[in-house]
């Protein structure tokens, strides 16, 4: 594999806009590990090896259990995630694959059992930001180890 281009140097303004969005989500009050689970799950769906590696490692460095990182792609089949995490992972999958079914009412209602309106918007922003990072990375040919 070969990196097509470095989007940060090709368009520093676009990169800075992404950093600003990322900063906004980080300051929103979302739990760090929940945000990293969102990032890892969306990156798995989008096939972004660069981001999968980064966010799996970030979770492990933060003290997340290895099993929870390894089993994330099959989160429905294992009893490792809280009800809130499962609701958020379902939302992450729906928003990431919006053209499949949108965000069904039952998914929205399940998430809202655990979060208020403000946190719901923060979750949507978190999902949007990682999807944007994934699209930048995949489209420009980034892969695990390309920036070493």
Residues 69-97 have pLDDT tens digits of: 999 999 999 999 999 999 999 999 999 99
pLDDT of residue 146: 73
Distances (CA, A) of 115 to 36, 76, 93: 17, 20, 17
Per-residue pLDDT reduced to its tens digit, 88-145: 999 999 999 999 999 999 999 999 999 999 999 999 999 999 999 999 999 998 888 7
Spatial separation of the C-alpha atoms in residues 16 and 95, rounded to whole Å: 24
**Best CA proximity match to 62, nearest among 97, 82, 80, 35:** 35
Which pLDDT score is estimated for 121?
A: 98
pLDDT the model gives residue 145: 74
User: What's the pTM?
Assistant: 0.94
Identify the band that residue 148 occupies on the pLDDT scale cut at 50, 70 and 90.
low
* Ordered structural domains, the chain, with CATH: 13-139 (1.20.1290.10)
pLDDT at residue 3 greater than cutoff 60:
yes
Give residue-wise pLDDT tens across range 30-75: 999 999 999 999 999 999 999 999 999 999 999 999 999 999 999 9
């Amino acid at each position: 594999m070969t990196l097509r281009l470095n989007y940060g140097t090709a368009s520093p303004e676009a990169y800075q806009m992404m950093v600003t969005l990322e900063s906004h989500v980080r300051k929103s009050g979302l739990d760090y590990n929940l945000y990293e689970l969102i990032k890892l799950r969306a990156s798995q769906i989008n096939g972004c090896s660069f981001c999968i590696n980064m966010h799996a490692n970030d979770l492990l460095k933060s003290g997340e259990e290895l099993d929870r990182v390894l089993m994330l792609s099959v989160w429905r089949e294992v009893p490792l995630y809280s009800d809130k995490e499962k609701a958020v992972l379902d939302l992450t999958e729906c928003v990431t694959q919006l053209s499949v079914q949108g965000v069904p009412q039952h998914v929205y209602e399940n998430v809202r059992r655990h979060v208020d309106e403000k946190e719901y918007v923060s979750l949507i922003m978190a999902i949007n930001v990682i999807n944007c990072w994934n699209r930048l990375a995949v489209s420009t040919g980034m892969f695990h180890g390309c920036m070493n």
